[in-house]
Structure 1
Amino acid sequence: MFSSVLAAAVNHALEQSGWARDRLRPHAGKTVRFVVVPFDVALTVDEGGYVRPPGAGAEPALTVRLSPWLLPRLLLEEEAAYREVQTEGDAELAADVAHLFRHLRWDLEEDLSRVFGDVLAHRLAQGGAALARWPVQAASGIAQMWVEYAREEEPLFPKREEVARFLADVDTLRDDVERLEKRIARLEDQLGKG
Structure 2
Amino acid sequence: MTPKSPFTFLDGLFERIASGPQPPEWLVHEVQHRAVLFLNHVLMQEPEAMERLGSQSGRIARVQWRAYSMALQITPAGLLDLASASATPDLRIEVAESSPLSIAKGAMRGDKPTILIDGDVKFAAEINWLVDNVRWDLEEDLARIIGDAPAYAIGSVAKRVAQALRSFVASMPFSRGDV
In the alignment, what sits opposite 1:12?
41
Q: Tell me, what secondary structure is at the counterpart of 1:48?
A: coil
Equivalent runs, 1:23-172 vs 2, <5 Å? 23-55=52-84, 57-66=86-95, 67-69=97-99, 71-72=103-104, 73=106, 76-78=109-111, 81=112, 84-141=114-171
Q: State how many pairs are aligned.
A: 140
Cα 1:133/1:41, change in 2 over 3 Å:
same
Q: Distance in 2 between matches of 1:49 and 1:39?
A: 24
Question: Which whole-Å deviations, capped at 9, do the CAs of 1:79-105 have from their partners, x for residues lacking one?
Answer: xx46x3110111111111111112211
> Structure 1: 5+ residue runs without aligned partners?
144-194
Q: Percent identity?
A: 24
Q: What is the TM-score with the length of structure 1 in the denominator?
A: 0.65
Equivalent runs, 1:175-194 vs 2, <5 Å? none
Q: Tell me, what secondary structure is at the counterpart of 2:55?
A: helix
Q: Does structure 2 conserve the Cα–Cα contact (< 8 Å) formed by 1:3 and 1:43? A: no
Question: Which whole-Å deviations, capped at 9, do the CAs of 1:42-80 have from their partners, x for residues lacking one?
Answer: 1110000000101364211000011234643357542xx
Q: Tell me, what secondary structure is at the counterpart of 1:47?
A: coil
**Letter paired with 1:94:** A
Q: Distance in 1 between matches of 2:116 and 2:146?
A: 41
Q: Does structure 2 conserve the Cα–Cα contact (< 8 Å) formed by 1:3 and 1:42? A: no
Q: Which runs of 4+ in 1 moved over 6 A?
A: none
